[in-house]
Structure 1
Amino acid sequence: MRAVDRDDADVIVVGAGPAGAAAAHWCAVAGLDVLLLEKSAFPRDKICGDGLTPRAVAELARMGVDTRAEDGWIRNEGLRVVAGGRSWELAWPELTTYPGYGLARSRMTLDHGLVQHAQASGAKLLERTKVTGPETDERTGRVVGVQAQPLDARGRADGAPRTYRAPVVVAADGVSSRFATALGLTRRDDRPMGTAVRTYYRTEGTPRHADRFMESHLELWDGTPGASNLLPGYGWIFALGDGTANVGLGSVSSTPARQSAQGHDYRAMMKAWTANTPPEWGFTPENQIGPVRGAALPMGFNRSPMYRDGTVLVGDAAGMVSPFNGEGIAYALQAGRVAADAIAQARTRLTDDARERTLATYTDRMRDDLGGYYTLGRWFVQLIEHPAVMRACVKYGLPRPVVMQFVLKLLSDCYEPRGGDWIDRVIAGLTRVVPAS
């Protein structure tokens, strides 16, 4: 697959977040020469809720990532849902497919650890290397590498541009994915889009220090009387076990256009919500660490095709965030694994056509596993966009244990795909009968 006298690697991975690190790890494990390019230098921050569901934990286990508490990982037992003046603690389900616990780790250290794991597996990392565009074959238009610019510590050009060549490029460069955009792989307007903001608070000596549950607030209040003053979003509090908590809020819309029309000031919403949390939680300006930062959440496979002409899209670059809960890490790790398997299998094929068909199986495998679930998620978003529907769900659904168990499994994507209890079978059946595109 690799032309030794021309190519710099068997595969180039653009972006070293969870998707890119996972792809680099699995490609290296398969014996491929991997070049992992990252525009920043580690450790570096990323805007995220920092919570990992059991599905993500299962992917880390497959990779062989050690998640011991002494290394900075904190386990959580489930999800605490707060709404309508009440709260419910829902333990993660006991399944054969996923472990019965989640994890939390700041992206500053999570991403750095995953990259180091990929390096230990054999991947070569180039930091402060900004990929500026694809390198294509003049005759066929196929991607045969990347154009890159070395950067200094301040993000300025440092030296001459470089070209790196490889038979396959994995685009893991995030929601904007300039690499995919340069190839004409644009975002779809019929997929949900979320927005989230978050910051960190010191929690030592407060009830939020080492919470055993991830906490989700389905109703956010601006502090003034009346239901009409509910803020349009949901909030979270995730204890990180290091004396801090990740606190944030987000909202989702069924289309990017609808989201733009709403024009919410998320930082103002965050300020109003945290100002009205209990004083003993300590969510005050004095305890805040760093500014409130925001990011877009691309959902439901919002960029396609996920493979074309030598380029594989993974993670946020392919819009793999769940419309149900805004999680992207589990699917980023999964996509890196599946992409690497397709790339490794393609290497064994003897003709160009056979290699292309094998690389294209990546898209089929991701859609087969997640397409129906994401379709349900799109319909879910369309429902909760109506305030009356959301209020009815909170009032009549949450107090019922069976409903809450169903909601937990559905929203967290933690159910047995085959077998399990009747809830698992209902969810699995629904994902199979709805369209996967």
Structure 2
Amino acid sequence: MTSATTRRGPSDDAEVIVVGAGPAGSTAATYLARAGLDVLLLEKSTFPRDKVCGDGITPRGVKQLIDLGIDTREQAGWLHNRGLRVVGGGVRIELDWPELAEFPPYGLVRPRDDFDELLVRAAERAGARLLEQTSVTAAETDERTGRITGVHAKSGPDREPVTYRAPLVLGCDGVSARLALSVGLQKREDRPMGVAVRRYYESPRSKDDYLESHLELWDRSGPGEPQLLPGYGWLFGMGDGTVNAGLGILSTSSAYGKTDYRKLLRSWLDGTPEEWGFREENATGKVGGAALPMGFNRTPHYRDGLLLVGDAGGMVNPFNGEGIAYAMESARLAAECAVHALARPAGPSREQALGRYPDAVSQALGGYFRMGNTFSKLIGNPTVMRMAAKHGLPRTTLMRFVLKLLANLYDSKGGDAMDRVISATTRLTPSA
């Protein structure tokens, strides 16, 4: 965009630079471009590209896709599911997604290589300019004011150094948060982290109406008594003959950082029924691992021209490890604030508009994440986890409430008694 109405300065390459073309970056770029802004979207990889993930999307994430204008029908290539199956304490319970006014009654499954490319192509159709193989290394700052004026990057297969400039930068570069680190925004040690590992297997369980979560991981591969392993596991059928099998461990567990997570996954899956197919000969790829930054573990979310969005701002749900929904939700809020800010002249008025972003994400998610941070400390204790599985799972009404709480699925206005309890508790919980 080079029209007379552009907010670009004479040395700028765009009005907004978005770093990272995952769900957060592509969503933000789409909303920004639709608002008429000149958006430069920088991605270190090339599409299609894979990401370690469970590949499951709850109704909260589905809402974000629908808001973005993405066709989520099964005819468009999505695998729908009707709820969550929870296994633990000798109990197996199937919980349908709640019927709500604010969220659709179904979840989705789609592999990340396809999912991420679908979102980035939507951003391109909206008008965002995508540059792949562009790895951002640091922010460029004004020596006099400290304000971020652009980014330094390595571009192309030869990693040629290049600098791009814009009056606003959105850091959507994931858990590495290299952009934030370059300006001294460190992660907070008082917030939980998670580690997840996953692998795909050919399995007859590929088509399943439910996402499956295991609250207890048992190693039954040895000759002795079964051993309880730390963490929780998942089995998400992909609908294409394979299953995404994985597990996660929280930093609140004593096993965090001291465990061979790939071996842990192997031990658990070796103890599952052989007919499920989770054996080495049925694996379709390598074990992949990723860190999960939770509960706003990097703040402030806005400073000196830089907005942190999604994983870069620690926006993974501490209750269930879900990140996609919150990446997209925070991206929408960031884009809205950026659009309003750039409609004002540079200076105090623009800064006031940008200052709305951390307030907006705090208002939307802060109280809930604060509760999740406390929850993560509780379930990091294996005794608490065992007791919860043994005594909680048999109580269906209680588990419906727990599902709403853990998946952050409730009507904020009206709704049933469960919704009102969660809404009030979230609202009254301090977000700091």
Alignment TM-score, normalising by the size of structure 1: 0.95
Aligned partner of 2:294 among 291, 299, 313:
299
Root mean square deviation, CA, Å:
1.5
Alignment match, 1:362: 357
Which one of the candidate residues 216, 232, 239 is aligned to 2:230? Answer: 232
1:183 is aligned to: 183
Q: Distance in 2 between the 1:196 and 1:275 partners?
A: 18
User: In structure 1, what residue type is equivalent to 2:392?
Assistant: G
**Whole-Å separation in 2 of the counterparts to 1:311 and 1:405:** 40
| Residue aligning to 1:199 | 199
1:211-226 superposed matches below 5 A: 211-223=208-220, 224=222
Residue by residue, what CA displacement relative to the aligned partner does 1:32-89 show, whole Å, maximum 9, x if unpaired? Answer: 0000000100000101111100000000000001123233210000000011222100
201 and 348 in structure 1: CA distance in 2 versus 1, 3 angstrom threshold = same
* Poorly superposed stretches of 4+, deviation over 6 Å: 225-228
Provide the secondary structure at the position in 1 that maps to 2:233: strand
Secondary structure in 1 aligned to 2:176?
coil
- Can you give the 5+ residue segments of structure 1 that lack an aligned partner in the other structure? none
Do residues 209 (structure 1) and 200 (structure 2) align? no
Instruction: Give 1:242's aligned residue.
Output: 240
Secondary structure class of the residue paired with 2:92: strand
The amino acid across from 1:101 in the alignment is Y
Secondary structure in structure 1 of the residue aligned to 2:355: helix
Query: Residue type of the partner of 1:267?
Result: R
Match of 2:95 among 68, 82, 90: 90
* Counterpart among 313, 318, 323 of residue 323 in structure 1: 318
SS at match of 2:18: strand
Structure 1 residue 3, shift from structure 2 partner: 3.0
State the shift of 1:228 in Å: 7.4
Contact 2:231 2:249 in 1 (8 A): yes
Tell me which residue corresponds to 2:285.
Answer: 290
Match of 1:400 in 2: 395
Q: CA deviation at 1:391?
A: 1.7
* Secondary structure class of the residue paired with 1:435: coil
- The equivalent of 1:376 in structure 2 is 371
d(CA) in 1 for partners of 2:272, 2:119 = 34
In 1, distance between residues paired with 2:225 and 2:429? 35
In 2, Cα distance between the equivalents of 1:11 and 1:235?
Answer: 39
Q: Percent identity?
A: 56
Q: CA deviation at 1:393?
A: 1.1
1:225 CA displacement: 8.2
Report deviation, 1:138: 2.1
Q: Say which SS state the counterpart of residue 366 (structure 1) adopts.
A: helix
Mark the runs of 5 or more structure 2 residues left unpaired by the alignment.
1-5
For 2:246 and 2:123, locate their aligned partners in 1 and report how far apart those are by CA, in whole Å: 30
CA shift digits 1:89-124 (9 cap, x unpaired): 000000000000000111111001100010011100
The answer for the alignment partner of 2:3 in structure 1 is: none
Counterpart-to-counterpart distance in 2, 1:284 and 1:411:
30
Aligned residues: 426
Q: Distance in 2 between matches of 1:69 and 1:43?
A: 21
Deviation at 1:4, TM superposition (A): 4.3
Whether the 8 Å CA contact 1:2–1:166 is kept in 2: the answer is no
Contact kept, 8 Å, 2:50 with 2:113, in 1: the verdict is: yes
Aligned to 2:18: 13
CA distance in 1, matches of 2:291, 2:94: 29
Instruction: Report deviation, 1:134.
Output: 0.9
Residues 1:268 and 2:263 are matched in the alignment = yes
